Each structure stands twice: as C-alpha cells, then as structure tokens.
C-alpha cells in the first residue's frame, strides 16, 4: 500500500474521520470489505490476556481485532504478554524474548478472524525462554512492534512483507495531554514510525466508575475500522506521524463530533506518591482538577478539552522531538548557540 510522504492538512483528515462518524457514504460501489488485502499488525499495552472482569487487560484489542477482520483485513496480534500500561517507548535491551501463540481466545472472540489469511493469529511476547508462564515478565509495547517489524512477523506468521499499518489499542483509559508521554499504546505506535510504517493508536475514555465500558470499546472499534478504511481510501496513512485517537465514554451517548486536536497541557489525572513509612510511598492516581500537581489547560484545541466535551479527539503524533519553533524562538536559540560556540 502506497503511503504519502507529505503531511496532509488536519482539515482533510478531520473531514475523513467525520465522514465515518456521520455515516456519509463513500465512493459509488464501495466494497463491503473495505480493508480487504490490508495487512494489520495489532498491539497494545494492556496485554493480550483479557482475563479481568473489567476487561482492562486487553479486551479492547479483541474488539478492534473483530472489527478489522470483519472489514476484510488480515490481522496478526503481537502484544505484551502481561499488563504494561505506562511503559511509554521503553525497550528491552538484553536477554531473550519468546512469542507464544494463544490457542484459546476469550469467549465470544474465537472465530472473529477465521476467514482471514492468517486466521487472526494472536501472540503474546514475554521475556525469557519459552513457554511463557503466568510468572514470565512481559516484553514492552514498543518491544512487540520492533520485534514484529524486524523479522518477528516473518518467523511467527510467515509474512514476507511489512504490514501496511500498525494499530494499537483500544487502550483502557484515555491517552491525552501529558499521559501521551507515558502511554505504551502511543509508544508502540511511535515504534512503528521508527521503521517507517504508518500507525494509529486508539484509546477509550473511562466512565464514572473509572472503567472503560463495553459500549465504549465496541463503539471505538466500529469507528476505528471505518477510520482505517477511509484513510486507506483517501491515501492518508502517513509514515511521518501517527494518529492518536481518543474515543469518549459511550454511556454519555453518541460521540458529538470529531475534533482535530493538539496535545493538551491540562491532564485528566496525575500520578501521586503518598508517604507510608520511612522511605516508602504508595503510588496512586489523582483526578484533575483538584490535585495539587494538575496544570491548567491552556489550548483551545486540546485533546483533553475535546474528550471532556464528549468528542472524538484525533491528534497527529510525531517521533521527531525537535522543537519546530516560531521565528522568534529560532532567533533566540541561534543567539545562544553563537555565544556558546564563541
């Protein structure tokens, strides 16, 4: 699949996503399987276990897998063996890893990809020699993508070519504002860009019970499959940036609209460290606003503001950490650079 090497405007991408949300029809005679022939590597940071009652350890991955296969995609899952939320772009630099294929899939998802070329194979990546056990330490989200794209898919799935796109999620909880820096879901997507493969990361908003509801996972998966089909149709998948998609809580009703956003400054939650005894601290999560370390939101087009309004937030995320800067910023830095070199 050909990908664009130039950055498309946010307006065009947002219009494409809005067409998915509103159900606007595409070109005449659009195929019933719009992702037919598309190779998708699917990962996340919540693991491929999906064994918790609340589904926070990977049920969103299976909802997305189901919708992608239904749209005709050939999906292979290579995900962390265990829960690795917050791993960002961390990688394992030594030892061994094992890719263990899952044969007994979660109830209700067993035959979702039976018609796909690869049968929707699901692999969990652990650290250490095979077989992976409940005690095996997990590979990181970025590990799974780097492993898959650097020969792993050929060994475990027989793919001779790289995937057309890497999809991560659906994450259990939003990845907006500063949490984007911590997110293993986004970190795995960035790892795809490192190998010049387009990527899209999906996350779901928590409800009042601090859990992502099944309706949210399902709605986000439906939207995600439609979005990928539109991006493919319009040739908008890019190797220069990943799309960070956050879907609102479906219990609040249908998502109002799609918002093309930037990474916010006001987080939805912050990490907390409470002294227990001596040098021991309990880790926690404090909701914003209200917590001491919550920063105010300063951007009108932020992902945080959009998800709070019940909108679908889509942000372009790049792997380039270089500050683009305004002309004034570049001038100041040039002056500083000159003084240091002098």
Q: Is 273 helix (H, G, I), strand (E, B) or coil?
A: strand
Residues 148-161, mean pLDDT to the nearest whole number: 94
The sign of the dihedral angle between the CA atoms of 84, 87, 88, 92 is negative
Quick one: tokens of 135? 């005690």
Residues 7-30, mean pLDDT to the nearest whole number: 63
What is the per-residue pLDDT across 211-264, written as a single tens digit (0 to 9) for each? 999 999 999 999 999 999 999 998 999 998 999 999 999 987 777 789 999 999
Residues 108-122, mean pLDDT to the nearest whole number: 94
Nearest to 83 by CA among 48, 129, 122, 41: 48
Give the distance, in angstroms, between the CA of residue 282 and the centroid of all CA atoms in the same chain: 28
Whole-number pLDDT of residue 2: 41
Residues 320-333, mean pLDDT to the nearest whole number: 70
Q: What average pLDDT does the structure give for the chain?
A: 89
What is the per-residue pLDDT across 158-192, written as a single tens digit (0 to 9) for each? 999 999 999 999 999 999 999 999 999 999 999 99
Instruction: Check: CB of residue 237 under 8 Å from CB of residue 6.
Output: no
Give the span between the Cα atoms of 173 and 287, in whole angstroms: 13
Using pLDDT thresholds of 50, 70 and 90, give the confidence band for residue 312.
Answer: very high
Whole-number pLDDT of residue 48: 98
Whole-number pLDDT of residue 215: 95
What is the per-residue pLDDT across 28-83, written as a single tens digit (0 to 9) for each? 455 689 999 999 999 999 999 999 999 999 999 999 999 999 999 999 999 999 99
User: What's this model's pTM, rounded to 2 decimal places?
Assistant: 0.90
Residues 201-214, mean pLDDT to the nearest whole number: 93
Whole-number pLDDT of residue 5: 37
Comparison of pLDDT for 297 and 228, the residue scoring more: 228
Strands 122-127 and 97-101: antiparallel
Whole-number pLDDT of residue 169: 96
Q: What percentage of the chain has pLDDT greater than the value 90?
A: 69
What is the per-residue pLDDT across 274-288, written as a single tens digit (0 to 9) for each? 999 889 999 988 888
Comparison of pLDDT for 205 and 1, the residue scoring more: 205
Whole-number pLDDT of residue 291: 81
Whole-number pLDDT of residue 297: 86
Comparison of pLDDT for 10 and 224, the residue scoring more: 224
Whole-number pLDDT of residue 325: 64
Give the span between the Cα atoms of 253 and 117, in whole angstroms: 36
Give the span between the Cα atoms of 49 and 118, in whole angstroms: 20
Packing angle, helices 214-233 and 59-70, rounded to 10: 40
Residue 330 has pLDDT above 70, yes or no: no
Whole-number pLDDT of residue 7: 42
Give the span between the Cα atoms of 251 and 254, in whole angstroms: 8
């Amino acid at each position: 699949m050909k990908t664009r090497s130039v950055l498309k405007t946010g307006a065009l991408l947002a219009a494409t996503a809005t067409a998915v949300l509103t159900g606007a029809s595409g070109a005449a005679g659009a195929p019933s399987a719009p992702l037919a022939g598309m190779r998708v590597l699917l990962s996340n940071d919540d693991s491929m276990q999906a064994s918790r009652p609340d589904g926070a350890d990977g049920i969103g991955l299976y909802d997305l897998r189901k919708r992608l296969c239904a749209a005709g995609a050939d999906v292979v899952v290579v995900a962390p063996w265990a829960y690795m939320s917050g791993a960002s772009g961390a990688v394992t630099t030594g030892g061994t890893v094992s890719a263990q294929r899952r044969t007994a899939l979660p109830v209700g998802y067993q035959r979702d990809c039976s018609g796909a070329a690869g049968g929707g194979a699901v692999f969990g990546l652990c650290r250490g020699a095979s077989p992976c056990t409940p005690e095996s330490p997990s590979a990181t989200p970025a590990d799974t993508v780097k492993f898959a794209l650097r020969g792993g898919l050929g060994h475990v799935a027989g793919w001779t070519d790289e995937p057309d796109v890497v999809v991560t999620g659906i994450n259990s909880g939003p990845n907006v504002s500063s949490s984007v820096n911590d997110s293993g879901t986004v970190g795995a997507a960035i790892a795809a860009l490192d190998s010049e493969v387009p990527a899209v990361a999906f996350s779901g908003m928590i409800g009042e019970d601090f859990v992502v509801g099944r309706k949210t996972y399902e709605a986000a998966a439906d939207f995600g499959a439609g979005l990928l089909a539109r991006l493919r149709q319009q040739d908008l998948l890019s190797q220069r940036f990943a799309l960070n998609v956050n879907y609102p809580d479906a219990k609040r009703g249908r998502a109002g609209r799609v918002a093309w956003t930037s990474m916010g400054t006001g987080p939805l939650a912050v990490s907390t460290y409470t002294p227990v005894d001596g040098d021991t601290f309990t880790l926690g999560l404090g909701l914003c606003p209200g917590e001491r370390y919550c920063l105010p939101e300063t951007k009108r087009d932020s992902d945080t503001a959009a998800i709070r309004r019940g909108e679908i937030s889509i942000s372009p995320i790049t792997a380039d950490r270089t500050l683009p800067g305004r002309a004034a910023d570049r001038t100041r830095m040039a002056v500083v650079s000159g003084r240091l070199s002098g």
